[in-house]
């Protein structure tokens, strides 16, 4: 099973790959956007968009050009919300109907501790204390990287809805010990978006293997406040 299928509801459509893809047509606006990047960046850019189009096809959208906007956020077809992620070893996209979902956020990371000197820039003091506590109980998880990944998923959900930047230290993650749920508290005012309260959101996480092996993944799906359950 795909890693994100385990984390997202069935009405969110996922496509992912463990290798680079070069199938189907290339779209000139996308090629122009990434023309000055190194070859490896061009390849991951193309592959994750192939994944996105595969996922969009499940919603009946074909051949959509996915050039980022001025904020580098994907521009999805009307009536669609979605998210993309890429890291070493995985490219993935998730999309859903905006009739059911207000926002989607996914992130995958190598299962490694954060680089030295970055923790204070990315994690709040309470989160750092949680990392120390959880690492004592379960040292096989890179808890600092997991919290970072959860924040990435929060931002990818938040920005298309709020259209405001969210700093890493403006979001507090609480995560359980075993693969499963996390919650995020947004430390900004004005978090109500078209009837959906974004001050607190919940998501799912998983680890493929112990620290140093495989990937970590996090995902969030925020349901439309008027959608039927």
DSSP characters for 65-77? Answer: -----TTS---PP
Residue 5 lies inside a defined structural domain of this protein: no
For the chain, 229 residues long, give each residue's pLDDT as a single digit of tens.
Answer: 689 999 999 999 999 999 999 878 899 999 999 999 999 999 999 999 999 999 999 999 988 999 999 988 899 999 999 999 999 999 999 999 999 999 999 999 999 999 999 999 999 999 999 999 999 999 999 999 999 999 999 999 999 988 888 999 999 999 976 668 999 999 887 666 666 677 889 999 999 988 888 999 999 999 986 554 4
170 labelled binding-site residue? no
Q: What is the pLDDT of residue 229?
A: 45
- Name residues whose C-beta falls within 8 Å of residue 179's C-beta, 6 or more positions apart in sequence: 205, 206, 207
Q: Is the dihedral of CA 94, 73, 190, 149 positive or negative?
A: positive
Whether residues 131 and 193 share a domain: the answer is: yes
pLDDT at 59 (0 to 100): 95
Q: Known binder of ligand: residue 150?
A: no
152 is in an annotated binding site: yes
Residues 101 and 207 in one domain: no
pLDDT for 66: 95
Give yes or no for a contact between 30 and 50, defined as CB atoms under 8 angstroms apart: no
Tell me the C-alpha distance between 69 and 41, whole Å: 18
Pair 47, 121 in one domain: no
How far is residue 7's CA from residue 150's CA, in Å, rounded to a whole number? Answer: 12
Domain boundary at 105, 130, 165, which?
105
Q: Is 107 annotated as a binding residue?
A: yes
**Was 41 annotated as part of a binding site?**
yes
Same domain, 81 and 178: no
Residue range of the domain that includes 182? 109-223
Residue 209 annotated as lining a ligand binding site:
no
pTM to 2 decimal places: 0.93
Q: Are residues 71 and 129 in the same domain?
A: no
Is 31 a known ligand-binding residue? no
58 is in an annotated binding site: no
Structural domains of the chain, count = 2
């Amino acid at each position: 099973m795909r890693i994100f299928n385990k984390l997202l509801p069935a009405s969110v459509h996922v496509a992912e790959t463990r290798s680079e893809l070069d199938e189907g047509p290339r779209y000139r606006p996308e090629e122009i956007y990434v023309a000055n990047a190194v070859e490896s960046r061009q390849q991951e850019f193309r592959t994750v968009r192939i994944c996105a189009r595969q996922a969009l096809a499940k919603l009946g959208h074909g051949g959509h050009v996915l050039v980022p906007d001025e904020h580098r956020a994907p521009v999805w077809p009307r009536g669609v919300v979605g998210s993309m992620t890429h890291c070493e070893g995985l490219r993935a996209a998730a999309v859903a109907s905006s009739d059911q979902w207000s926002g989607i956020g996914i992130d995958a990371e190598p299962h490694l501790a954060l680089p030295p000197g970055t923790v204070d820039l990315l994690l709040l003091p309470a989160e750092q204390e949680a990392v120390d506590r959880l690492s004592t109980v379960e040292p096989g998880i890179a808890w600092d990287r997991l919290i970072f990944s959860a924040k990435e998923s929060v931002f990818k959900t938040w920005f298309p809805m709020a259209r405001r930047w969210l700093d890493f230290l403006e979001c507090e993650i609480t995560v359980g010990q075993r693969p499963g749920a996390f919650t995020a508290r947004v430390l900004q005012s004005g978090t109500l978006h078209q009837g959906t309260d974004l001050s607190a959101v919940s998501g799912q996480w998983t680890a493929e293997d112990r620290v140093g092996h495989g990937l970590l993944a996090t995902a969030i799906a925020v349901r439309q406040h008027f959608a039927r359950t």
